[in-house]
Structure 1
Amino acid sequence: MNIKKINDDVVSRLKNDDREAFKYLYDEYWFLLFNQAYKRLPNEEIVKGLIQDLFADIWQNRSKLVIQTSIVAYLKQALKYKIFNYIKAQIVREKYIAKIAGNNHLPNSNQTEQQINYLELQKAISHCIASLPLQPQRVYLLKHEQDMSYLEIADHLQISVSTVEKHMIKALKIIRQQIKGIYRE
């Protein structure tokens, strides 16, 4: 059974309140998501909480769930946004606490600024990816979010390896142009 059919089946079952589909999703991807998040935010309790929030959001919004890529790519992207929002909230809290304490200088402000810049760049890249034409977008996501080789992508999409390469070149060119445009503004 191919990945798209499995994705569609799980999403369809979730929309029909199938708890077994939700359990499958949770059991299948929890550890992968934990490892991804822990690399970005090395605090086990916070990471576990963010993943719980992610799955709670999926269950609460299951009737409106639309996944156009693979489930794993969707989950990874959703978790990236959870991490981004958590870090932004932490920065606001730190600034607020420093202001109340009468200390306008934060000890880790350079590191915090670098984190914000990194997360803003990630968000900009995500928007660029979302705006790509369908085939280059699919190729890019399969390569960068599912770590597939060009040969695996070609097999998955039933196209030639050279076509995969052309789509990847097109995707990267568009992303570079859009990122340059963002940082010139």
Structure 2
Amino acid sequence: METTIDITKTWYSFKEGNSEAFASLYNHFYPQIFEYGIRKGYSNENISNAIQDLFLHLWETRKKLPIPEKPLFYLFRSFSNHLINIQNSKQGKINYVNEEIFLLKYDATSEMDNLFKDEQNIQIKKVIQELNELPAKQKEFIFLKYFAELEYDEIAELMNITTRAVYKLNYRALDSLKEKLSTNKENLLALFILMKTLYKF
């Protein structure tokens, strides 16, 4: 059974040395960080090790840490920086499953039949198919904006591009999907919400 936690309150408790609060943050954010790592093309082993190292570092430096306004962005950025540091170190080695392509593949399974009406099933499956065909940077943008719900400037920092370039990715990705799916922006965003519910990100 899924549980909801008060992130800010839990983070305060974690900073004060509460190990249960620390465990709650770890359990809450681990799946999201892991999924981001998978879609970036890192191997399972690298992702697991990096997340464990990251949270160990957070625990050891907890008294000096800020209370982040956007914890998920804060952790995504810390996770990415940690992997970059490993890669840049003399002994560091990062194993990629796929170094070039941002993986945004969702399996259209029979679970949908129990959750949505037939027409919605068809629409979502079409969206999934077209998402898989987008260029890598557009897929990464879609994931960070509409599934992780990050802001444009946060996405720009994670992707190491300008905010203006992020807006361009948005226009191009949505225009491409609208054209291929013969739909409008409002319907497309509504389908993203349904997909996010389905995949529990």
TM tier, shorter chain?
Answer: 0.3 to 0.5
Q: Tell me which structure has the larger Cα radius of gyration.
A: 1
Which protein has the bigger helix share?
1
